[in-house]
Amino acid sequence: MKYTDVPVDRAKHARIKCELELRGLNLAALAKELGVGASAVSSVSLGKSRSERIEKHLASAVGQTVLELFPERYPQNSDIEEEPQMQS
């Protein structure tokens, strides 16, 4: 599946933002940590674009693995390395 084939998921985006808010974070704070614009993080969260680095950071920030947060983007037997999850 190409990244352009991944549909925009506004419900997932809203859940991510809610989970971040519960942890005292937001997309802008994650963007600052990563040194990218907030629109880049938002775009990845919505599914409009792909960035393994941003996806990993989002997943970690909400206490999930990349495979749990974005199962449609990574095959189950993917070679993606999981980063330790952030503590809430």
Does residue 74 lie in a domain region?
no
Band of the pLDDT at 37, cuts 50, 70, 90?
very high
CA distance 21 to 23: 5
Taking Cα atoms as reference points, which of 51, 49, 59 lies closest to residue 82?
59
Does residue 77 lie in a domain region?
no
- Is the pLDDT at 75 greater than 50? The verdict is yes
Q: Domain with 43 in it: what CATH number?
A: 1.10.260.40
Domain count, the chain: 1
pLDDT score, position 79: 60
pLDDT digits (tens, 9 = 90+) for 4-29: 555 789 999 999 999 999 999 999 99
Does residue 79 lie in a domain region?
no
- Is the pLDDT at 35 greater than 50? The verdict is yes
Does residue 86 lie in a domain region?
no
Does residue 26 lie in a domain region?
yes
- Is the pLDDT at 85 greater than 70? The verdict is no
81, 88 Cβ separation under 8 angstroms: no
State which residues form the domain around 29.
Answer: 3-69
Does residue 33 lie in a domain region?
yes
**What rounded mean pLDDT belongs to the chain?**
86
CA distance 35 to 51: 13
pLDDT score, position 80: 58
